[in-house]
Amino acid sequence: MRTRLIKTDGLVQQVLEAGYEDPNAPLVLLIHGFPELGLSWRAQVEALSQGGYHVLAPDMRGYGGTDKPRGVEAYSILHLVGDMVDLVRALEKPSCIVVGHDWGGPVAWHCALLRPDLFTAVAGLSVPFQPRRPKGPPTQAMAAISERAGLGDLYINRFQAPDAHLALEADPVTTLRKLFWAFDGATPASKRSTGFMPRGVSLLDSVDDAATLPPWMSEAHFAEYVEAFAAGGFDGPLNWYRALDLNWSLTAFAQNQRILQPALFIVGEDDPVRHYAGAAEAGLKDWVPNLTRSVVVPGAGHWIQQERANTVNDLLLEFLAQIAKAR
């Protein structure tokens, strides 16, 4: 396993990589979410590379050791998919299997949607494919749903504020500790975040001050996150959320298009994302007709590839073996 920099079109990306010794090894790309880094996939990089795959886990645009362009317009879904296309091209691979967790899920799904010639199979963790809503921009719809249900504000809508990153940057240790704890399966259900918060209460204030590190996260592992976000900040990562309506405007050409490649979906039973993405999870087969399995992992929360590393490794290796057998 090594960390290195890869220069692509207009971007330098830091990647965690293993299995690169065999030039014929199939490429698997692992895309992290918020607030994570490529190192969140360490267990999968190790397991999949030992299974005979060339595995790459980049720090995504705006994160960690990868470049951090300024401005919301630099974080559209077309940029994020383009970064992944550039990585595959830089490695001179003819195709790739793409896996995404959290925000990496939408990127992985759109890699498969927009470049089926290059991304021949896809796995989404925690976040199902959510097709473009033809009736209007997503942030308006999310705000209206929250209002009707009396749930308060969804954190995604709060992140739209141009200065939303400042509160997170004020104390990265507290921010990261609270976010990891609030969405973890081991956290008591009454303390776990739903993603919604009362009006006038900030995201961090909605999480118990007694929050501790999840049982799967060591102090040394946590320190790596703190170092990265203390240095790089949260503005770039939040620009992914701020670009949601921009993404809607840019992807009209893909309206009603389905993902036809073999696919896998994995979600934790107690993942708070299911509170606001449950309908998409239930209807996933309609938009991804070649979904081979949809697996709900008992007792797991949002950080599933780290909470249940062995389970996720086994499911991914089984999925990859099925793909290889079908070829």
**Architecture of 2-133+247-326 per CATH?**
3-Layer(aba) Sandwich (3.40)
Q: Band the pLDDT of 165: cuts 50, 70, 90.
A: very high
Q: Which residues of 231-241 are buried (b: 16+ CB within 10 A; e: fewer)?
A: ebbbbbbbbbb
- Checking if the pLDDT of 135 tops 90, the result is no
- Checking if the pLDDT of 169 tops 80, the result is yes
Burial class (CB in 10 A: 0-12, 13-18, 19+), 70: exposed
- Checking if the pLDDT of 3 tops 90, the result is yes
Average pLDDT, the chain: 95
Q: What is the mean pLDDT of residues 179-200?
A: 94
Q: Where does the chain hold its CATH 3.40.50.1820 domain(s)?
A: 2-133+247-326
pLDDT at position 137 is 92
Tokens of 172: 């990265």
Q: For the whole model, what pTM was predicted?
A: 0.96
147-151 contacts at long range (C-beta below 8 A, 24 or more positions apart): 151/194, 151/196
Please identify every residue annotated as catalytic.
102, 302
User: What residues have CB less than 8 Å from 276, skipping those under 6 apart?
Assistant: 142, 154, 195, 196
Residue 263: how many other CB atoms lie within 10 Å: 25
Q: Band the pLDDT of 249: cuts 50, 70, 90.
A: very high
pLDDT at position 145 is 79
User: What residues have CB less than 8 Å from 315, skipping those under 6 apart?
Assistant: 264, 266, 293, 295
Q: What letter represents residue 320's amino acid?
A: L
Q: What is the mean pLDDT of residues 157-180?
A: 97
Q: Band the pLDDT of 316: cuts 50, 70, 90.
A: very high
- Checking if the pLDDT of 327 tops 80, the result is no
Q: Please write the tens of the pLDDT for every residue from 200-237.
A: 899 999 999 999 999 999 999 999 999 999 999 999 99
Q: What is the mean pLDDT of residues 245-274?
A: 96
DSSP 117: T
Task: Count each helix (H run) and each strand (E run) in the chain, helices first.
Answer: 14, 10
Q: How far apart are the first and last CA of the chain?
A: 28
**Of 200, 233, 220, which is closest to residue 64 (Cα–Cα)?**
233
Report d(CA 13, CA 86) in Å as an integer. 10
pLDDT at position 148 is 73
Report d(CA 100, CA 299) in Å as an integer. 21
Q: What letter represents residue 72's amino acid?
A: V
Q: DSSP assignment of 39-105, as one string? A: GGGHHHHHHHHHTT-EEEEEPPTTSTTS----SGGGG-HHHHHHHHHHHHHHTT-S-EEEEEETTHH
Report d(CA 145, CA 62) in Å as an integer. 30
